[in-house]
Amino acid sequence: MKKSLVLAMAMALGVTASAYAANPFSDVPAGHWAYDSVAKLAQAGVVNGYADGAFAGEKLITRYEMAQIVAKAMAKGANVDKLAAEFADELDTLGVRVANLEKKADAVKISGEVRAHYAASDNGADESILRTRLWITGKVNDDWTYTGMLENEQDLLDNAGNEDTKFARAYLEGKLGGMDVLAGRWNEVTSSGNVLDVDGDGIKVSYGDNVKVYAAAMKAIEDITELSNDRLYIVGAETTIGAVDVYANYFKADSAAIAWDDDGATNWGKKEIYNIGLGFEVAKDVAFSYDYMWGDKKYDEDVSKDGWVARLDYKESDPEEAGTYGIHAQYFDQPINAYLAPTTDAPTFDHGYKGWNVGVDYTLAKNIQLCINYYDTEDKFGPEKDELIFSELYFFF
């Protein structure tokens, strides 16, 4: 066995001075350079030598024999990751679980999602986008993780072949004291998402289990209705009372947009929205949810300051289980005064929108999911209306 390998193995087991053990092998005298290390390895049961009592340090050993030595060293808690990686196949044959290597491999994970969608609009605003997302999750320590997301979009109706690739998400999550902390660039979907679903840079803290309270300060990196690149502030709480999930939120968006006060006078204001909601299971596999939201000012004087959304769900599609499905129906009544950037593919208008939606999600095969939605909406004030079929095919990996 090579000198460097003997010394390295012994150091991994903590040999820093003479082992002072009885001479374990007839061919390793007390004055030999390897005496202390070999004695320690023998004492630990890592090396056994041969039947004639010799260590035979100059003899070549097989990969299988070396794998046995590595396995014994690992069992003693030695840090032999490089050797374990080299002899991984032989260790598998021996039935050894390379725990340290697996732990390190689990520290960074890569997953992905491909979505092909096609939207057919009654007003001719058709679109077809192929979106690819790669997620990278890294473990910082037992309390903190890092998440990044690379996104590519290709417009399949654009003959010029235009596409866009960006590093869309990058954030840290962890615990600080008794609080959960999220910081960086993330997608904020507050409660149902009927008021806010937006990417932004900032920080969010939350506290509690039975009653969870949270607060966030962020800068949106995309347009929010009339408001572009706004500073957003969110405070909210959610809990479960019996079989009912309930929540309440407050949103504030700093902006330079014109607002109307109750007297009809214009001013440069700040958009503030309040939101309460609930959800519960009506019967087996049937769930109902309701959202109510209202704004503090009329950013559009032609429509009301409050709105609502009701939704009914039957079952749900599990992307990992083929044949599962979910059906839903919902009604929107949302003036521009009462939302910022809602989660919807419905056609929206200058004054807000009202109308209905039905949809179905179906898992065609494991990690392949089809979603189809039909929307029929109209402007909250004015003659504009539209109908839209929005279809999506997802591949998860």
DSSP secondary structure string for all residues of 168-196 = EEEEEEEEETTEEEEEEEEEEE-TTSSSB
Q: Which of 1-5, 31-35, 37-41, 254-258 has the lowest mean pLDDT?
A: 1-5
Say what the pLDDT of residue 265 is: 47
> What is the percent of the chain where pLDDT is above 90?
55
Domains, the chain, ordered by start = 3-97 (no CATH), 108-396 (2.40.160.10)
| Residue 317, pLDDT score | 97
What is residue 317's DSSP assignment?
-
Q: In this model, does residue 3 exceed pLDDT 60? A: no
Task: Kindly give, in sequence order, each residue whose CB lies less than 8 Å from that of residue 4, ignoring residues fewer than 6 positions away.
Answer: none
pLDDT at 19: 42
Q: What average pLDDT does the chain have? A: 84
Taking 80 as the threshold, does the pLDDT of residue 50 lie above it? Answer: no
Average pLDDT over residues 149-173: 91
> What is the per-residue pLDDT for 17?
41
Which helix (DSSP H) or strand (DSSP E) does residue 104 occupy? helix 99-107
Query: What Rg value do the Cα atoms of the chain yield, rounded?
Result: 31
Residue 63 has what pLDDT?
Answer: 74
Residue 362 pLDDT: 98
What pTM does this model have? 0.73
Q: Between residues 49 and 139, which one has the greater pLDDT?
A: 139
With b for 16 or more beta-carbon neighbours within 10 A and e for fewer, the 336-370 pattern comes to: bbbbbbbebbbbbbbbbbbbebebebbbeeeeebe
pLDDT at 1 over 70: no
* Residues 135-153 pLDDT 10s: 999 999 989 999 999 999 9
Q: What is the average pLDDT across 354-380?
A: 97
Q: What mean pLDDT comes out for the span 152-166?
A: 88
For residue range 309-355, list pLDDT tens digits in order: 999 999 999 999 999 999 999 999 999 889 988 999 999 998 999 99
Tell me the per-residue pLDDT of 95-119, one tens digit each, with 9 for 90 and over.
Answer: 665 555 556 666 789 999 999 999 9
pLDDT value of residue 300 = 76
